[in-house]
Every structure is written in C-alpha cells, then in structure tokens.
Amino acid sequence: MKIVHATSELFPYIKTGGLADAVGALSAALADNGHEVSVFVPGYRAVLEHKDAAGAERRLRLKIEMGDQFQSGDVRVFSPRKNLKIYLICREEFYDRRAPYGNGERDYEDNAGRFIFFCKGVVETLRLDDIQADIVHSHDWQAALLPLLLREAERRHGVTLALKTMFTIHNIAYQGVFPSRVFGLTNLPGDLFQIDGIEYYSQVSFLKGGILFADRVTTVSPRYAKEIQTAEYGCGLEGVAQTRADDLVGLLNGVDTAVWNPAIDALLPARYSPANMAGKAVCRAELLKRCGFAADFKGPIFGMVCRFAEQKGVDLVLANRDFFLAHECRLVVLGSGDKQLEQEMQELAAEVPHKVSLSARLDETMSHLIEAGSDFFIMPSRFEPCGLNQMYSQVYGTIPVVSRVGGLADTVTDADANDADGTGLMCDPNAGSLRDALQRALVLFSDGARYAAVQQRGMARDFSWRTASAGYERLYQESL
Ligand code: ADP
Ligand code: GLC
C-alpha cells in the first residue's frame, strides 16, 4: 500500500511527547513490512538541523491559499530508511522556531495558520507530486483538517488524491479550538462553519473536523475509544465521537524495540535482559549517582517521566509528599511544563535533596536511565489515551504504578489482584488511592522473590510494534 502520514511530531526529529514515538515507530514498521510510506512533518528548525535532513532534496515550491492571500513555502524530502520518505513542509516564518507549539509560557498566536498551512501543504504536495496515496492518515489536532481539506481540493481540481483517509486521536484534550475568523484561512465552503461542520460553540475546532470527516477514526487504546464517548473523558467532543462510533476503533500503541530495549540500549551505562539482570543494578547505581543520592541506598527508587500537565497526576504525587518523607525510598522525576507543579516539585526536592530529585528539562538519555535504574515507575494519570512509559517500564523490568484509565488499564495488570499474571500496581486517579498503591509497592519490594516474578512477567510481555502495526494494516486493508 501507499501510505501517507501527516503529523506534527516524529521521533527522532521532533518530540514533545508520545505522538512522536508512536508515529515514528508505526511508520518505520509499515515501511519494514514493504509498504511505501511517506511521512509529512512541518519543517521545524530541529528537524532541519537533524543530520538526516542535511541532504534533503528541495522537491517543490508551494503557493498556498490562506484566506485572501497566497503564502509561499517549499517541500524538502529525505529518506532515512528503505520504503520511507520524510516530507518537510517548510516556511521559515512558521516553523523556524525553537519549539513546535509555544514559547514555554504561551502557545504561539499564529498556531491556527501554521497548521492550516501545513495541512494545505500536504494536500498540494500530494497533488503536484502525484503521489496517489491509498491511505492518508493524519494525527491529532494539528493535522486534523487534512481529510476535509483533501476532499475539498479533490472536488476543486477534479482529481483523486487518496482512496481513503484515516484520523487518529492521540489525545482528545487537545482540540485546536480557535476564534471564528480562523475559518477564513481554510478557504472551505461557508456551510462547513456549522454544527455538523467544524464550528464548535461559535469557534473553529480542528479536532472535530478530523473526527467527522475522516473515513475511519482511531484512537490509541480500546478503553480510550470507549472513554471518549462519555462526558467524563470526551472533553466536550463525546457527542461528536459518538456519531462515529461505528467507525471508531482503539488500537494500542507499541514499543519501538530498536529504541526501547534494555538488551541493546546504547543510552544506558550497561545493558541487561530477563536472563541476566546484572546490568540493571549498574543502571541503578548510575541513577543514584546522577541524582546525588547515597550510592549504598538499598530501598526502592520510584521514577517518573512526564509532561507536567494536569493529565499526568503530578499533583497527586505531590499530595503524597509525606509518603516520600516518611519512608526510606527515593523519588526521581524528569519533567517540565506547568510552572506551579515544577515549583512545588522543586521545593520538595530542595527540602529533601538526599531523597527527591527533579530534572525539569527534556532529556532523552535521562528518560532511559530512569526507566532502567528505577524499581517502580509512577504514572497516576487522570486520563491516558495510551501511555508509553508504562510499557517501557515493563520492558525494562521496572514495575509500573498506574491509574486504572485508558491505555494504562489496557496494558498493566494489578499484581495484588492477580497473583498469577500481574505486572504492575494499579490505583484510581486520586491521592488516597495512589498512596495505597505506593504502600503496596513497599510491601512488594520487601518480598524479593515476588518482586522478581512480577518483574519477569512484565519483561516477557510483547508490546512490539509488529503486533501494533498489524492492527493498522488490517484497518487500512479493510477500509480500502
Ligand atoms: P504523552 O504523549 O501524553 O506525553 P506518553 O506516555 O505517550 O505521554 O509519551 C511520553 C513520551 O515522552 C515518552 O517517550 C517519555 O519518555 C517522553 N518524555 C516525557 N517527558 C520527558 C522529558 N522531560 N524528557 C525526555 N522524555 C520525556
Ligand atoms: C498522547 C497521549 C498518550 C499517548 C500518545 C501517543 O500524547 O497523551 O497517552 O501514548 O499520545 O499515542
């Protein structure tokens, strides 16, 4: 099949979260399976500076209609592996910035235009480069208008650019909602600014467009596919999601085992496998050292790596500060985002620097070291479409402590409730229930044999993208 992806993040070129990992691994797996895969990404500064993009070919000049103006850009292409092409939609004014969405304090003012330009750039490239896609698969709000803009361009030009379109919701909490004047930039017919179009309480909703106008809609776990059709998790779009119930499926993400695999992980000081866990102790020692903790510490290390956002339940961990003060354990946190949460975590780390460490930055190497060197990984998300770190944790023999929501519930089994097949500890997304799970973690850690059994079961689970990508292949085939 000829498969086109459009995404605003792609590992290893640009990443703020799991979207990058998911699309990076899925597109690579599809290419390895012999499909002809093209991935479109905005030509952000970080991507253009990546060594793979150094020899990118300038393929096309673009002139994109944006309301009553035309804006220019260009398209560059490179191929990092067989069957895989990366297309960069470039326009310095929009994408030559340090971060993809905002300056750390606020989102960029021109995000609507930036991502409309991106989607239109994809459509224009499909047309001018005569790609003839079987499937055009777009991801999250930034690329959500693509199915609609593509069908509109086909109508205008009397051509077929894609046989089927697919849209994946990686997180329904981020919707790309903008003032109504943004509608003009889409150049879509006025009747689409209505309740059964992309109008949303007098504003424009990009995500709604993806959900309504793609041929098939997926999200990243079976449980989240159900959750987003409820008021509790639908973030206002539950009714819209319900209208697509028949075409909406949840396909679990996987783990890219070329990147996240303790047996070959070059970012670690030592490697290990289920049969030989000695390297994990080396990683633990390195983690203690990096955090400035005593080297001879024998108790449990709790790790946490996440965006500091309400979703991730960082505040629930902070609400349990007494737990970390009272017990002989360590807490290692890597993450940034919400300034208030960062400050509170920093205060805790400053109060007990021998027990709690915060690295408030993006750090790929440190994220691997935390996965490998910790004994438990905490992820008490309020909602979690899929979540990757709880899978990475199991693969790295680090027992996940997670809330029972979304993809976490689909990928972790509670070890206290399931003696024979548990791989983690589960709680509800509130401080009291998390505290109970943390207490149970101490109990589990004190029983070496049982801890090792839970650990080995996690490491034996198959989260590889081979399985995950097969689900997408089936769906593509089915919709064609
Ligand atoms: P989300 O996409 O909601 O942020 P996921 O669990 O799907 O959550 O994916 C998060 C990804 O981002 C993981 O690969 C995780 O290791 C990574 N990550 C999060 N915060 C950081 C950080 N501060 N430094 C490095 N990697 C991070
Ligand atoms: C989103 C979700 C996360 C998911 C990731 C990749 O960012 O928050 O749960 O794992 O996308 O699909």
Q: What is the CATH number of the domain that holds 36?
A: 3.40.50.2000
Q: How far is the CA of 237 from the centre of ligand 1 (A)?
A: 25
**Test site for ligand 2: of 7, 14, 16, 19, most ligand atoms within 8 A of the Cβ:** 19
The closest-lying atom of ligand 2 relative to the alpha carbon of residue 170 is 11
This prediction has a pTM of 0.97
Res 245: pLDDT: 97
Q: Are residues 297 and 248 in the same domain?
A: no
For residue 270, being part of any structural domain is answered with no
219 and 130, same structural domain? yes
Query: Which positions of the chain have pLDDT values less than 50?
Result: none
Strand partners, 177: 205
- Into how many domains does the chain fold? 2
| pLDDT at position 271 | 98
Token digits of residue 179: 């003032």
Q: What is the pLDDT of residue 178?
A: 98
Residues 424-471: tens digit of each pLDDT: 999 999 999 999 999 999 999 999 999 999 999 999 999 999 888 999
Q: Are residues 63 and 195 in the same domain?
A: yes
Does 96 share its domain with 186?
A: yes
How far apart CA 275 and CA 262 sit, in angstroms, is 12
Please tell me whether residues 328 and 454 are part of one structural domain. Answer: yes
* 122 and 49 in a common domain: yes
Percent of the residues in the chain that have a pLDDT greater than 90, as a whole number: 98
Cβ-contact 125, 60 below 8 angstroms: yes
What number of other Cβ atoms are within 10 A of residue 159's Cβ? 12
Pocket test for ligand 1, best of 220, 259, 306 (most atoms within 8 A of CB): 306
Do 450 and 475 fall into the same domain? no
Q: Say if residue 88 is in the same domain as residue 145.
A: yes
Q: Please check whether residue 266 lies inside any domain of the structure.
A: no
CB 373 within 8 Å of CB 269: no
Q: Which domain holds residue 420?
A: 278-459
pLDDT at 103: 87
The pLDDT assigned to 104 comes to 79
Is 146 found in the same domain as 221?
yes
Q: Do 194 and 336 have their domain in common?
A: no
First to last CA, the chain: 10
Distance 25 CA to ligand 1 centre (A): 14
Distances (CA, A) of 360 to 110, 124, 193, 337: 27, 40, 41, 8
Instruction: Report if residue 301 sits inside a domain.
Output: yes
Query: Are 199 and 81 contained in the same domain?
Result: yes
The verdict on residue 336 lying in a domain is yes
pLDDT tens digit sequence for 68-121: 999 999 999 999 999 999 999 999 999 999 899 998 789 999 999 999 999 999
Whole-number pLDDT of residue 413: 98
Q: Do 78 and 215 share a domain, yes or no?
A: yes
pLDDT of res. 467 = 86
Work out whether the CA dihedral 151, 154, 155, 160 comes out positive or negative.
negative
